[in-house]
Structure 1
Amino acid sequence: MSNDMMQIIADHKAGNIEQRAKLFRGFADPSRLAILCALCEGPMVVHELVERTGLSQPNVSNHLRCLQECGLVNSDREGRFIRYRISSSRIATLLSDVDALLDVVAEGVEACENYRGR
């Protein structure tokens, strides 16, 4: 393989790594993750998400805005309300896969000193 081709592949992978990291930052916040998990059960309006997650209404609204801007959540207007939903069923699949992975690595994740909860 030529050096040019290897550089193209390396550049592509580096871009993909950055994009993956950016995606995972969307999942990294406990509030956003709680909202996404709730929306995996079906579309909801803000007050339903507040009830389901225990977060404040302003907090839910701010995180929904972030999730929508990142393409993880879509919305539909229904009269006075806006109903939010996950943008792809693959999000629910990913979260389910994370749970399966945690079944295997939870002990190590819990013991990790690098990413302590706040």
Structure 2
Amino acid sequence: MPTPSDDRNSDDSPAPALDDLESTAELHALGPAACLFKSLGDETRLTILQHLSLGEHRVVDLTDHLGLAQSTVSAHLACLRDCGLVVSRPKGRASMWSLAVPELLALLRSAELLLEATGDSVTLCPTHESTIAGATSPHADREERG
């Protein structure tokens, strides 16, 4: 006598190919890495991380260094904290912010070495040109007319 589980497996749809499953698993496994690099893909957050690589800072110190509003710096710190890249500890009425993991310094240094090796290639890439400070999209004319 067939069981309900037999009915579920008896449809005519093909089973997913092993290669498709492996590709999906690989993409899923890369998701956290993509999120990490998105968190590092902002110039302000990178500047904050550079300052924190020198030691602990208060938000007021970072706002002075960066010339940004306290709310802006706090929002970027919250993003970095939520990604596990920075931590804070109370000191009086202030919070002292620092890097959460020393491996972040090695990653930032590797990025510097990669930029030295590739030169201006990244900044000249038309895909990313619109995200570079002061640059406009190569398609801006068409987008405005479009």
TM more than 0.5: yes
1:57 deviates by 1.4
Q: Which structure has more RCO (C-alpha within 8 Å, separation ≥ 6)? A: 1
2:52 counterpart of 1:39: yes
Provide the aligned length of Structure 1 versus Structure 2: 115
8 Å Cα contact 1:75-1:82 kept in structure 2 = yes
Say whether 1:23 aligns with 2:36: yes
| 2:113 alignment partner in structure 1 | 100
Aligned-pair CA distance for 1:106:
2.1
Distance 1:55 1:16 in 2: 36
Distance in 2, Cα, partners of 1:9 & 1:92: 32
Deviations 1:39-81 (A, max 9, x none): 1111111011112222221110111111111111111001111
SS in 1 for 2:84: coil
- Aligned residues with identical type, % of pairs: 30
- Deviation of 1:7 (Å): 6.1
Match of 1:74 among 87, 92, 95: 87
Give the match's secondary structure for 2:39.
helix
* Unaligned ranges ≥5, structure 1: none
Partner of 2:139: none
| Inter-partner Cα distance in structure 2 for 1:27 and 1:39 | 14
Q: With structure 1 as the length reference, what TM-score do the two structures score?
A: 0.86
| Distance across 1 between alignment mates of 2:61 and 2:118 | 32
Counterpart CA distance in 1 for 2:20 and 2:72 is: 43
Q: Which has the higher helix share?
A: 1
What is the TM-score with the length of structure 2 in the denominator?
Answer: 0.71
Aligned AA (1:79): G
Aligned partner of 2:104 in structure 1 is 91
Q: Which amino acid aligns with 2:127?
A: N
Please, what is the CA RMSD of the aligned residues?
1.7
Counterpart of 2:40 in 1: which secondary structure? helix
Structure 2 residue identity aligned to 1:92: L
Aligned partner of 1:61 in structure 2 is 74
